[in-house]
């Protein structure tokens, strides 16, 4: 069965009745077994407290997976290094509703076993929403992230129409030169290439709901929601104080199509030699 994933792409959902039997992998050249299965996890993550940088978050993930009992690739190597890949960094204070991570296994396991093991072992701030069996040869997950979708709820009173008009005006600009502080210096940059979409609507009790689709660029970096809100506030003349900010989902680029096979020329049949076909047999001696 295939169904759309929260990222907007299509991923294969493996169901229990048709799942393959368990199969162990052969030894790899790195001293551990090779991965034979790749599970994509869809996770809800609450905001984190304390010093939770990217390294600390990854270390907590690896410790939880090691304790799960799953045959994680890299766990049996001489210097264990678990094969878990998160899609895109998320600041500790921002929750995520559909974060993505790939986990690689050295044995093929049915979905229910993977789900049970993960539910019991995930870090405290995470909840497993879904999981999909993904083709092992698919390109690395971080390289496929094209954009992040953020949802900000802005406290009233807000002129929603003015903010919506400002959003359309920003999208209509060719460039949006801005400055931001970086350490002790000021950095100039163009915000416009990061803005894929801006949607503003009225919420209950006079709040404004601003949805921002911000691009990821391997060379220029990623769009930041706080900088986008600041640009909207300046353009609209409204004070946009976010009561809440959440990353709704990640947008994945479609995988590159396989290269076409080289064209084949016309097939040539081998010549028929005398005696190889009954129609070309020489007559027998004395025959008619």
pTM above 0.85, yes or no: no
Q: What is the pLDDT of residues 8-58, one digit of tens each?
A: 443 333 333 333 334 444 444 355 789 999 999 999 999 988 667 778 888
Q: What is the pLDDT of residues 224-250, one digit of tens each?
A: 999 999 999 999 998 898 999 999 999
CA neighbor of 231 nearest in space, from 152, 162, 177: 177
Residue 154: phi and psi, rounded to 5, are -105, 135
* 6 and 129 share one domain: yes
Number of domains in the chain: 2
CATH code of 66's domain = 3.30.70.580
* 55 and 158 share one domain: no
Residue 84 lies inside a defined structural domain of this protein: yes
* 76 and 26 share one domain: yes
Mean pLDDT of 147-156: 95
Burial annotation 95-130 (CB, 10 A radius, 16+ → b, else e): bbbbbbbbbbbbbbbbbeebbebbeebbeebbeeeb
Helix, strand, coil percent values for the chain (each to nearest 5): 20, 35, 45
Mean pLDDT of 88-97: 93
Domain boundary (111, 138, 165) is at: 138
The pLDDT value given to residue 214: 98
Domain hosting 219: range is 144-252
- Asked which of 20-29, 102-111, 153-162, 187-196 is least confident by mean pLDDT, the reply is 20-29
Residue 261 lies inside a defined structural domain of this protein: no
**Cβ-based neighbour number of residue 246 at 10 Å:** 18
Residue 278 lies inside a defined structural domain of this protein: no
The pLDDT value given to residue 62: 84
* 38 and 53 share one domain: yes
**Higher confidence at residue 186 or residue 193?**
193
Residue 179 lies inside a defined structural domain of this protein: yes
Domain boundary (119, 138, 157) is at: 138
Residue 270 lies inside a defined structural domain of this protein: no
* 109 and 61 share one domain: yes
- pLDDT band of 71, cuts 50, 70, 90: very high
* 73 and 107 share one domain: yes
* 107 and 174 share one domain: no
Domain boundary (138, 171, 206) is at: 138
Q: What is the pLDDT of residues 44-68, one digit of tens each?
A: 999 988 667 778 888 888 888 889 9
* 116 and 227 share one domain: no
The pLDDT value given to residue 115: 97
- Are 228 and 213 in contact, with CB atoms under 8 Å apart? no
- pLDDT band of 162, cuts 50, 70, 90: very high
- Say yes or no to pLDDT of 149 above 70: yes
The pLDDT value given to residue 284: 55
240: left (phi over 0), alpha (psi -120 to 50) or beta: beta
* Per-position DSSP letters for 5-30, written without gaps between them: -TTSSEEEPP-GGGPPPP-BPPB-TT
CA distances from 152 to 166, 181, 243, 285 (A): 16, 22, 7, 99
The pLDDT value given to residue 172: 96
Question: How many Å apart are CA 74 and CA 107, to the nearest integer?
Answer: 12
């Amino acid at each position: 069965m295939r169904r759309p994933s929260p990222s907007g792409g299509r991923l294969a959902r493996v169901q229990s009745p048709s799942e393959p039997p368990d199969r162990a992998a052969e030894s790899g050249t790195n001293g551990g077994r090779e991965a034979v299965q790749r599970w994509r996890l869809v996770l809800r993550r609450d905001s984190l407290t304390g010093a939770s940088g990217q390294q600390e978050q990854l270390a907590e993930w690896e410790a939880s997976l090691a304790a799960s009992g799953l045959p994680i690739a890299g766990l049996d190597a001489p210097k264990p290094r678990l094969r878990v890949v998160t899609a895109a960094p998320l600041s500790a204070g921002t929750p995520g509703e559909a974060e993505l991570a790939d986990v690689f296994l050295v044995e093929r396991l049915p979905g229910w076993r993977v789900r049970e093991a993960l539910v019991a072992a995930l870090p405290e701030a995470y909840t497993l929403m879904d999981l999909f069996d993904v083709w092992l040869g698919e390109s690395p997950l971080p390289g496929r992230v094209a954009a992040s979708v953020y949802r900000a709820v802005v406290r009233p009173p807000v002129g929603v129409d003015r903010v919506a008009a400002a959003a359309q005006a920003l999208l209509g600009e060719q460039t949006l030169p801005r400055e931001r502080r970086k350490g002790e210096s000021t950095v100039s940059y163009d915000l416009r290439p990061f803005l894929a979409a801006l949607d503003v609507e009225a919420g209950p009790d006079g709040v404004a709901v601003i949805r921002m689709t911000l691009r990821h660029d391997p060379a220029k970096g990623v769009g930041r929601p706080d900088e986008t809100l600041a640009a909207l506030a300046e353009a609209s003349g409204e004070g946009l104080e976010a009561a809440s900010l959440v990353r709704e989902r990640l947008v994945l680029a479609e995988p590159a199509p396989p290269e076409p096979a080289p064209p084949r020329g016309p097939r040539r049949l081998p010549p028929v030699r005398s005696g190889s076909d009954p129609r070309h047999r020489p007559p027998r001696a004395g025959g008619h």
